[in-house]
Structure formats: C-alpha cells, structure tokens
Structure 1
Amino acid sequence: MANQSVFTLINQQTGNLAFKIFSFDDNRHFDHLQRHNYYSLIWIKKGEGKLKADFSEYDFTGNTLFAFSLYQPFMLSSENIKGVAIQFHPDFFCIHKHQNEVACNGVLFNNIYQPPFTLIDEISSLAFESLYEQIQNEMQNQALAQYELLVSYLKIFLIKASRLKAEQLPNFPENTSQKEPFILQNLKNSIESNFKIKHSASDYAEDLNISAKALAKITKTYFNKTLTDLIAERIVIEAKRELYLTNKTVKEIAFELGYEDEYYFSRFFKNNAEVSPQLFRETVGYGRSAN
C-alpha cells in the first residue's frame, strides 16, 4: 500500500531478521498461520476481527496490543484492521536475560493463563504512538549508537505494555463461587511447581483434591484451554528457554523436564511447537550475543 512503511535491521552475522517495524492498513500480513523465530508486537489501532492463537480463538476490537512469542502460532481474521507491528529476534533483545529490567516474560509473553493481548487505553495509546514514532525516526537514521537507542525505546515499550497487562486481571463472572478462582490460583501454583515431573491432568486433579472432570470444566471455562494444553504449553516454554539460553543437549533438557526418552520428548516438542528442538536452537538460540 502507498502509505505502508517498513523498516528492517538484519543481523549481519546470521542474515536473519534482528529488528523490524511496519505499519499496515489491511490483514494480508496476518491472514495465514504465523510461526516466527522472533517476537511480535502487533498493535491494532482500528478494526475488529478474530484471533486464533495456540489452542484458542478470541474476538478483538481496535486499540488492542497482541504479543506473540517465538514460534507461537497465530492468525488474524479481519477485513478492516489498521495498525503497526514491532518484531525482534532474541539476539537483538532477549527478554529472558533482561527479565529483571523489563519483566515482560510471563506477563506479555509466555503467559499461558491469559489471552495474548492487552487492551490499550487513551493515555497508553498516546505513549505508544510517541515511542513508535521515535523508533521509526531512529530506524531511518543510521547514526552512532543506533542499536543502543532502539533497544532503549523497545525496553520502554515493553515495560509500559507489561504494566498495562498486569493491571488487566481476569474478570471472573459475577455468579462465580469464590472457590473456583481459589482453585485456579492453586492450579497455577501446582503447574509452576510440578510441570517438570507431573505431565498428566489427573496428577493435578489429585493434587487439588478435585475430580478430573470438574477441574477440566473449570480450566476450560476460565483459560479457554484444556488442562492438558496448559501443561504442554508450560513444558514447551521451559524447553524453549533452555534451548535458547544454554548449550545443554536435547537429551539433557528432556531429562530435566521429566522425559527419559529423548526421542519421545522431541516428538512432543515438535507436535506442540511445530518445529524440532534442533531447528528451534539453530534459528533462535543458543544465545550467541550478550543481549
């Protein structure tokens, strides 16, 4: 389109995308299944439609910010959207290594318990618009310390978006008993504590002293996912983190995640991530840079 603008930085060592921003005024970028070896922030300024991500489907309207992690599958169905996108490879900026500074991992990205989007209010919209313009200006200006300035703008964008997302806690229906949210919090705690050793839904039902059928119904109602999906997502997120941040073998990672058979684990990873552990490592990590 005539008013579309795309700015891209390429990693000179690998030839892969490092950092990219672009504006869009239709859905052609996102109307097919996306699985990228980089992070994507997609800000829908105007329009509405449906998002398919992982195992779920959501309706969306304007002033919504999507955040998708490495190889996370997503697709947008819409005919009238306008907005901007920011995409970055972990070699350009690693959210794991900068967790103490930015704290977006588990909030914006890799949050298996909440939908992968944040609603943007008017004040935040002005702040994000200003940041995007600064990034765009810097992308056109290959001056001294361009990389450092771009990372600074990206950090601010991620921090503001993470704060906004953190404020938007799940809204439980009014007729919900107090017991169910309490069980959900216990379930989240149990998954975080046990996902490396407990892989079946029945394990968690037993942990929480609730029937598997009842827990399955509650999980589907509040997270729009099955409990099996939640467990699988959590295991894959940890595996991706290990593949990127460490030089452990796939066999070592599999064993640490409770899988004695490396090949069974590799099949499980590929079924859920649509990419083998080895290809994920080749295209994303092991973290080569200091970022």
Structure 2
Amino acid sequence: MERYFESNYKKLGIVTINKDNQETINGPQYKPYIKIIYVPAGYSLTIDFKHYTTKKSSLFCIHPNQHLHLEQAGKASGYCMYYNRDFYCVQIHDEEVACDGLLFNNIYEIPVTELPSVDDPFISQAFQYIMEELASQESSREEMVRTYLKQIIIRTTRAWKKQQLSHLSTTPAQDLEFFRTFSRLVEIHFREKHSVTDYADLLAVAPKTLSKKFNRLRLTQPNDIIKDRILLEAKRLLAYSSMSIKEVAYNLGYDDPAYFNRLFTSKLGTTPAVFRKQFMQTEEA
C-alpha cells in the first residue's frame, strides 16, 4: 500500500514494506528522496557498503546520495517514508529537530537507530497516523503529517545519541554541538576541503585545538574523518557511476589522480580499479 501528498513541489509518501513488495523499495522512483525506514526484527538491508540485519525494531535515515538495497523483509510489515526537501529540510529546521550531523550526515556513517521499547510503539503509531492523514482530505493534513514527521525525528535523534554517543553523556552541550557542526561541514565541503586546517579555519579554531577537542571527546581524529568521507564517496562513484578513475579523482578535488590512487590504496588496501572490479563481480554473482 502506498499513499502520498503532493503540492507546490512538496512531496511526502509512505509505502508499506512486506515480503510481497520488498523489491519495490529498491526501485529508482525512491532514489531522489530522503527516506526514513521503519522495520521490525528480521529485515536485512545494505546501505552503501554496510549490511544490517535487524534484531529489533529499527529506524534507518537515508539521504538521496546513499544507496539502499532491501534484501529480505521480515514477518511483520514495516514502512518506508520518503519526502523531498521542499516538504521538510532538516538543515532549514535544524533548531526544531537538531538531527543534521547525527541522524543524517553523521561522521560515523551510522544510519540506523535501534528503537528503545519505550519509543517503538510511539514511532510505529506515528507512521500509522501519517498513513491515515494521507488518506484523508482534511485541509490541515499537510501540517499534521509534518508534525508527526518531526516527532519521529526528535525521538529517534535522542535514541541515536544515547546509543552512539553515550560516552559524551557528561559532555557540555557546546562540545556536542561542536561535533555536530564539524560533521555537517565535512558533508558540505569534503570535495574541495581535504585538510584539518581547512575545517579549523571554518570553525575559527587552531588545527591543534580541533584535534585536542576530538581527543578529549574520544572521537575519531578529524583527519581520519575527512579522509573516510572522501573515500566513501569514491567507493560510491566507482560502484554506481561510469566515471573513469581519473574522473572520480577530479570529482573529489584531486588534480593528481596518482595521489588519489595512493590515498585510496593506503586506506582501503586495494586500488580503485580492483575495488570496482570486485564490486561488479559481487553484483553479478
């Protein structure tokens, strides 16, 4: 079952996920949209190059530039909600939900949140309420749907922080915000800004101060975070585009393809050419 709302470039829809239609979710029609996927236990899916099997109800937040493949649906039905930025943009509404750099665009590349037992019934019901609103003809349905969407995002953001950043529970709020801001800046600028100094300048701190802050918070070092984001995009382009390796290097801001080759090989243990060949062989198998 699918229901959607569309008006003045704004679009949001929900598809019920089950074993009968699991391949539909992988179709190109949903690729351009932001997706929030709620699935009970027993689902298997791959996002970019990481595989997940849900052991309990989980929520996945997926940006359009991420690659989703639902491999196996569980016994119980789930939901795939998709929408565009015209309907709701987390960057514009960041003060409301504070999820950019956490649920979306987080430096750990963790798109999944296992839902606590206290939140699972609420979030599952919120999806059902959205389905009901989309089926109605009420003039206020757009705002009601947006309200439920924000509630889902806020609850999931809180759960994600407890699961992934529990060691920061006693950290001052400004330090957590600093981490989130760095995440967002890397996502915006990784193609043209490759050094810790570049991001230290954007944050108006010294490079050593930036590294010390991440050390104090026991986070991955900034240089590794920057390089990991660049290489994730490199893998996406090698796997899902027809760009040559030189074109991938130029797309990621490297004028010297040989340097890009060395960086890719040293970090991932294989050359770009071998990575592409192995990925293609896996897809064909």
In percent, how many aligned pairs have the same letter? 23
- Does the CA-based 8 Å contact 2:103-2:157 persist in structure 1? yes
CA displacement at 1:108 relative to structure 2: 1.0
* Partner residue, 1:45: 40
CA RMSD of aligned residues (A): 4.1
Of Structure 1 and Structure 2, the greater helix share is in 2
| Residue equivalent to 1:84 | 79
Aligned residue in 2 for 1:268? 252
In 1, distance between residues paired with 2:138 and 2:181? 47
Which sits farther off after the overlay, 68-77 or 154-163? 68-77
User: Structure 1 pair 32/152, CA: closer, same or farther in 2 (3 Å)?
Assistant: closer
Residue identity in the other structure for 1:65: L
In structure 1, runs of 5+ residues without a counterpart are 173-185, 211-217, 220-224, 235-262, 270-291
CA distance in 2, matches of 1:29, 1:98: 30
| Partner of residue 6 from structure 2, selected from 10, 13, 36 | 10
Residues 223-242 of structure 1 mapped to structure 2, 5 A cutoff: 228-231=227-230
Matches within 5 A, 1:1-291: 5-11=1-7, 13-14=8-9, 18-26=11-19, 27-31=22-26, 36-53=31-48, 55-80=49-74, 82-169=77-164, 198-199=193-194, 228-231=227-230, 267-268=251-252
Return the offset for 1:102: 1.0
Task: Measure, in 1, the Cα distance between the counterparts of 2:30 and 2:129.
Answer: 28
Is the Cα contact below 8 Å between 2:18 and 2:73 reproduced in 1? no
Letter of the structure 2 residue corresponding to residue 268 of structure 1: L
Tell me: CA distance 1:57–1:171, structure 2 relative to 1, closer, same or farther (3 Å): farther
Deviation at 1:229? 3.1
* Structure having greater relative contact order (Cα 8 Å, sep ≥ 6): 1
C-alpha deviations, 1:221-275, integer Å up to 9, x for none?
xxxx9863324669xxxxxxxxxxxxxxxxxxxxxxxxxxxx9998339xxxxxx
Query: Is there any run of 5+ residues in structure 2 with no aligned partner, and where?
Result: 168-177, 200-206, 212-218, 234-246, 254-285
Instruction: State TM-score, norm by structure 2.
Output: 0.59
* Structure 2 CA distance for partners of 1:87 and 1:266, relative to 1, 3 Å: farther
What SS does the corresponding residue of 2:65 show, helix, strand or coil? coil
Q: Please give the TM-score of this superposition, normalised by the length of structure 1.
A: 0.57
Offset, 1:65: 0.7
